[in-house]
Amino acid sequence: MTPEGTRVGVLFVCLGNICRSPLAKVVFEHHVRRAGLAERFRIDSCGTGGWHAGEGADPRSVKVAAERGLRLDHVARMLHHTDFVSFHYLIAMDRSNRTNMVTMGAPAERVHLIRAFDPRMVGKGERELEVPDPYYEGDDGFVKVYEMRDAACGGLLEAIRQEF
């Protein structure tokens, strides 16, 4: 899949880059570290909108991560067209983010909905493969989306491992 010595680039993308994608990033990093593959990956997150650029992650995402032993140290950034060259896997949290990436020039075959990698979601429709934005919800919404990402990130790592 990648030349020897090249790190596999995985980019998680949501709307503002303060809730869903930064949490997906640290969850995936956790799976990668646990598999002993940290040196083989380059992992980041960003948003398709820039209104939170430069801000930290939503405190509720930080809390959910911390409760699971994960450290979410994050500064939001906006998606840039150069990301489509730098990252092999462009992982969207929902269909809108996927559409935005493809419209900006991302190769459609490299843009995936995150829950498509969740083994429990095989055969589900695209609407069911979306991770809802918990921004306007309470803490329970953040816990739910964490659980969605945990299963999907494990499946994503397994799919990538099968390629190299």
Q: Which of 44, 58, 94, 133 is catalytic?
A: 133
Is 14 among the residues known to form the active site? yes
As a whole number of angstroms, the longest Cα–Cα distance in the chain is: 45
Q: Which of 19, 20, 60, 118 is catalytic?
A: 20
Give the 3-state secondary structure percentages of the chain, helix then strand then coil, rounded to 5: 50, 15, 35
Is 20 among the residues known to form the active site? yes
Could you give the count of Cα atoms lying within 13 Å of 74 in the half-sphere of its Cβ? 34
Residue 98: which H helix or E strand, with range?
helix 95-104
**Which residue's structure tokens are 């994608």?**
21
Could you give the count of Cα atoms lying within 13 Å of 72 in the half-sphere of its Cβ? 29
Is 133 among the residues known to form the active site? yes
Which residues are part of the catalytic machinery? 14, 20, 133
